[in-house]
Structure 1
Amino acid sequence: MTTAPARPDTGGLPLYDALAAVYDRWTAQNDYAAWADHLAARLRGTELPVRTVLDVCCGTGTVTRLLQERGFEVSGVDGSPAMLSRARGRVAPGTPLHEVRLPAPLPVPAGSLDAAVCCFDSVNYFAPAELPALLRTVAAALRPEGVFVFDLNTRHKLESVFGDSHYGDDLDDFAYVWRNRYHPGEHRCDYAISLFTASGDGFRRQTEHHSQWWFGHDEVRAAARAAGFTVAGVSEDYSDRPVRPDTLRETWTLVRSAPEPG
């Protein structure tokens, strides 16, 4: 569905080059329709009408398509050509899909979009030094009072659920082994994902190395403020429930500040 910026990794493939082929089956347990319903409600609950939406880190286009089905005019941006190739077969014909390694500038006119979304932990792939730049990039594409809704894996999830763990599964024509290493001083969890896909009479092994960072609320609020956003709310995992100490995923809603009257 969504993917991180395609930056070089160490000791493996570029992010999502291998995973793209199995990504939709691997993540089929996600309730994407519920996510899209929540996003649509958030976007329709704004003071100004929302028509044009950018799906940031759109991946294979699942949320892009679901928002299109809910009446929005949605375009997408992602850093992985393999994931975008999958997205082109899913989204509405003619949907603009851009390959961009964020936080590089977006190929859209400044202030031209009503809203942006970024789902499935994609923002966690940006290092702390990159978060303000990412938010500035998104803000530049939005009109004043435009909305940005995104989710984040929490500290609790990276620290206590992923942590220093490993697991895997056999899904018939592909299998995987996922190994995690948590770096508490850096607020980062590294993932080594070895994917085994059917090839001839055997299986082909490919390994990707991913990293995610967690962000405290003060850190997100400061980055949002520096990018010209105000925080309209933060809730638990595409719901209206307040976040708790054991929340695994948070959903943030930012609004681009209107310019000061001159």
Structure 2
Amino acid sequence: MNTYRGLARHYDTLTADVDYPGWADFLEKLFKRSAIPVHTVLDLACGTGSLTAILAERGYETIGADASAEMLAQAAGKTLGITGIRPLFIRQGMTELDLYGTVDAVVCCLDSVNHLKGPGELSSMFSRVKLFLAPGGVFIFDVNSAEKLKGLDGELFLDEREDLFCAWRGEYSKSSRTCRLWYDIFERDGECWIRSDDTVEEYAFEVPEITGALAAAGFEDVRTYGDRKMRPPKPGEDRIFYCSKRGNNFNGR
């Protein structure tokens, strides 16, 4: 369902207000919680690679993984002129991760975890991450809170620019705990407008099931933070960050 085929070319334009340097600053604060020095970073579900590129520019050896070929094409073009070690991009979904070795940190940002289809895929992803994260390394990700996704039900949003118009609406299902987002995109081509569309689904995970799944997968010292703030989440928080460490045992490797 989360193909991003229609959104890929316009993703950076529609998310131009995202403070990627600020996200990188926050991640680097959490890297200090690692039991090992962080030199290699996997950006899981990296999208168009904006965050991957910034981390690479800051001296980290980075890998960007995403299931969307269209998003990876944008990412590869974006990092052509990067200084230092260029990121390596691979086409792999969150539950299909398969690296040649381990990394010091894994990050998965901008509510990508919500795109998993429930607790089963969540546990599968955590198991794959643990397999390729060095013992003592940090695993950092964020989710849109269940409260936020429920609040999107029936909402309509418009993003109008000179040559681009995007309308998207949300519909939340209590039975499936899923918020489906429909996007209609209109791009100006001379005197005409070209329409494309896309559909994305986000699963409403609760905090206890995420922290429980992390512990079950072998992650330790699990901490939660409110929207890029070094404090615990407040009631009704829209975005929640999770930071944990991979245990030193090798069970399941």
Q: Same fold (TM over 0.5)?
A: yes
Q: Residue 166 of structure 1 aligns to which amino acid in structure 2?
A: L
Runs of 4+ aligned structure 1 residues displaced above 3 Å come to: none
| Identity over aligned pairs, percent | 33
Match of 2:220 in 1: 230
Q: Residue 139 of structure 2 aligns to which amino acid in structure 1?
A: F
- Give 1:260 shift: 7.4
Matches within 5 A, 1:75-90: 75-90=63-78
Q: Is residue 130–residue 246 contact of structure 2 (8 Å, CA) maintained in 1?
A: yes
Q: Is residue 169–residue 176 contact of structure 1 (8 Å, CA) maintained in 2?
A: yes
Match of 1:147 in 2: 138
Matches within 5 A, 1:98-177: 98-109=90-101, 112-128=102-118, 129-160=120-151, 162-177=152-167
- Any gaps of 5 or more consecutive residues in structure 2? none
Aligned residue-pair number: 246
- Give 1:134 shift: 0.8
Q: Residue 169 of structure 2 aligns to which amino acid in structure 1?
A: R
Q: Secondary structure at the match of 1:106?
A: coil
Match of 1:95 in 2: 87
1:35-55 deviations in Å (ceiling 9; x for gaps): 100101111332311111000
1:136-184 deviations in Å (ceiling 9; x for gaps): 1111111111111000000111012x12211212211111110111112
Match of 2:171 in 1: 181
CA distance in 2, matches of 1:243, 1:221: 14
1:24-65 deviations in Å (ceiling 9; x for gaps): 111111111111001011113323111110000111111111
Match of 1:27 in 2: 15
TM-score (norm 2): 0.92
Residues 1:49 and 2:37 aligned together: yes
CA distance in 1, matches of 2:186, 2:45: 25
Residues 1:60 and 2:52 aligned together: no
CA distance in 1, matches of 2:199, 2:18: 22
Q: Is residue 40–residue 67 contact of structure 1 (8 Å, CA) maintained in 2?
A: no
- Give 1:226 shift: 2.2
CA RMSD of aligned residues (A): 1.7
- Give 1:200 shift: 4.2
- Any gaps of 5 or more consecutive residues in structure 1? 1-8
